[in-house]
Amino acid sequence: MPAQGYVAAIADWRRDPQAFWMEAARGIDWIRPPERAFDPALGVYGQWFPDGRLNTCFNALDRHVAAGRGAQDALIWDSPMAGTIKRFSYAALRDRTARVAGALAGLGVRRGDRVVIYMPMVPEAAIAMLACARLGAIHSVVFGGFAAAELAKRIEDAAPRVMVSASCGLEPGRAVAYKPLLDAAIAMSAHKPQACLILQRPQVAASMVAGRDHDFAAAEAAAAPHDPVAVAATDPLYILYTSGTTGRPKGVVRDTGGHAVALHNSMRMIYGMRPGEVFWAASDVGWVVGHSYIVYAPLLAGCTSVMYEGKPVGTPDAGAFWRVCAEHGVRALFTAPTALRAIRQQDPEARLLGDHDLSGLETLFLAGERCDPPTAIWAADKLRIPVVDHWWQTETGWAITAGFKGLGLFPPKPGTGGRPSPGYDVQVLDDDGRVLPRGATGNLCVRLPLPPGCAPTLWQNEAGYRTAYLADFPGWYRTGDAGSIDADGDVSVMGRTDDIINVAGHRLSTGAMEEVLAAHPDVAECAVVGVKDALKGQVPLGLVVLKAGAQRIAREVAEELVALVRDRIGPVAAFREARVVARLPKTRSGKILRASIRRIADGEPAAAPATIDDPAILEEIGAALGGRSSVRES
């Protein structure tokens, strides 16, 4: 049976949604408190707290200092890559953030301006985000693993006044220079930022462009602290680009007021965290988990947040996560199933657990992709704590379904993402928009309006938002995931319904990869599908048909394609395998049967659909994929 706290919360929300969220809004300090929770006439489906005014940075930092808790740790930076651990109290983080805000203001950044942040996992990345929020500017963080071409697309779309970057990121055994990638991206982009703020790390010195580039540390030291700027609750806080099926990046917008209310509420309700306790989201600030649960939610809730620059294995071993949890007194760990699979692969008996005191770790939360039951069961058995899978998206910003530690945590059910959070009316629809009964598989959708914290639109692309999420099922938000709801109300997510694949928790577009493959001079046509992988969940597989007369060795072409995707999209794509085939399976109308390719590659039965042009092609593909072996990056 579910916890009574969860039952009561769901009942309260269903009885009066606006009263439920107005009560949650009391957890935030407002410059002008909202008198209305929701206005259905605004935006594409309505907007939350439309008459409220606040500042997110003030709520994350200043108010805790004012409450007498300035000496408490706000952020712990643990970097086995740099061999460094640094602690920042709330007062110290507030002071640094105020000065960086002053430095950005000195470069011309004002309320509503955009700032693109392209940084590794260093404290200055979080400080830059909070500094933008302090000014009422809109930040857009781009994951450091993206190549110059992908960064350029985001610069063009966001049109930032200023860029914030670093001289390098650190990987095991090497430093990755960021500044050449930044310079190349700016050169490619039609939009040119007015200034760049560059953090010089000791491992690599970046060359600076006179008149455009400014040293981060020097600018911070010279700046006067800047006070928080009041903004409307409906003003954008940030833009976070996520993979789309077109060439244009899809900029998810996060509003200020709904975001603050939802994330503050989630720390208590979902994760059971109290002020002063230590929370660790083992993610990257370039992804939504990093935005929500490294930077904003823990600080809004007055917790201590861990920022980790390292890997689950190899820095130095598969006990790295357990060392961090023990050393910093982590109460709740939030990571991706991929990390657990990597740890399990290296230390299947979890012998390294014995080296660390994990008595303070109470719950392990998983998200980013569905966790396979064997991995969840392994972790629960070794850690002897609840392992809670929960489901959410970049677009929602917080959990659609969860396990609700703060509401009495009912026993997790491996293979499911838990039950809907208050605010989310989750149903399974058939392709005609009819609600399906419990147990049936179909399109997972959320009845409008979405709760606070969810994206109200896409950046400068309201029509694209309607098309991507609202048009298919009027009155509903289409998650793009397929799944089912069982008799207990637990939601199981089976996979994506479009061409977005989930590689180690990173949502990537196979369509974007196909565009890269198609650009190769010898490729006539191609298809990229996501296939099962024991470690990453999914990895991309490319099939290409060469142009007639192309006198090339297939392996040479495959190696060139792997390198091309790495250059154009970046290593984050994990594209390591391409196969040259004689032809691709298609419908009579010419549509490539990607689902059939995927099933064959996964070793599943792939019956010829009625629309197939030539059923014999499936046997050819099966033979071509027999004994698949990866073309590895050098």
The yes-or-no verdict on residue 495 having pLDDT over 90 is no
510 pLDDT band (50/70/90 cuts)?
confident
Identify the pLDDT of residue 244.
Answer: 55
Pick 342 or 37 by higher pLDDT: 37
566 pLDDT band (50/70/90 cuts)?
confident
Identify the pLDDT of residue 588.
Answer: 57
The yes-or-no verdict on residue 479 having pLDDT over 60 is yes
Each residue's pLDDT tens digit, 379-408: 999 999 999 999 999 999 999 999 999 999
Q: CB-side exposure of 263: number of CA atoms within 13 Å?
A: 30
Mean pLDDT, residues 541-551 taken together = 84
Q: DSSP character for 372?
A: P
For residue 502, list its beta bridge partners: 507
Mean pLDDT, residues 511-533 taken together = 86
Can you say whether the dihedral through the CA atoms of 387, 393, 394, 399 is positive or negative? Answer: negative
d(CA 567, CA 633): 11
Q: What is the CA radius of gyration of the chain?
A: 24
Q: Which of 55-69, 93-107, 303-317, 361-375 has the lowest mean pLDDT?
A: 361-375
- Lookup: tokens for 543: 């099939």
d(CA 369, CA 502): 7
In angstroms, the Cα distances linking 221 to 96, 199, 217 are 9, 13, 6
Most confident range (mean pLDDT) of 297-301, 502-506, 588-592, 610-614 is: 297-301
d(CA 472, CA 494): 20
Mean pLDDT, residues 419-423 taken together = 97
Superfamily of domain 503-625: ANL, C-terminal domain (3.30.300.30)
Predicted model pTM = 0.86
Identify the pLDDT of residue 338.
Answer: 84
Q: What does pLDDT average to over the chain?
A: 92
Identify the pLDDT of residue 1.
Answer: 42
Q: Is the peptide bond before 249 cis (omega within 30 degrees of 0)?
A: no
Can you say whether the dihedral through the CA atoms of 282, 285, 288, 293 is positive or negative? Answer: positive
Each residue's pLDDT tens digit, 117-133: 999 999 999 999 999 99
247 pLDDT band (50/70/90 cuts)?
low
The yes-or-no verdict on residue 221 having pLDDT over 90 is yes
d(CA 503, CA 531): 10
Q: Which of 250-254, 369-373, 608-612 has the lowest mean pLDDT?
A: 608-612
Beta carbons of 189 and 155 less than 8 angstroms apart: yes
Identify the pLDDT of residue 151.
Answer: 95
Q: Which of 246-250, 299-303, 487-491, 575-579 has the lowest mean pLDDT?
A: 246-250
In angstroms, the Cα distances linking 252 to 64, 154, 157, 368 are 29, 12, 12, 17
Each residue's pLDDT tens digit, 132-188: 999 999 999 999 878 899 899 999 999 999 999 999 999 999 999 999 999 999 999
The yes-or-no verdict on residue 413 having pLDDT over 70 is yes
Interacting residues of 588 by C-beta distance below 8 A, sequence separation 6+: 611, 612, 613
d(CA 242, CA 509): 9
Q: Which of 462-471, 474-483, 579-588 has the lowest mean pLDDT?
A: 579-588
Each residue's pLDDT tens digit, 567-611: 988 888 889 899 999 888 886 555 688 888 988 988 888 777 655
Identify the pLDDT of residue 506.
Answer: 75
d(CA 379, CA 365): 11
Identify the pLDDT of residue 507.
Answer: 65
Amino acid at 584: L
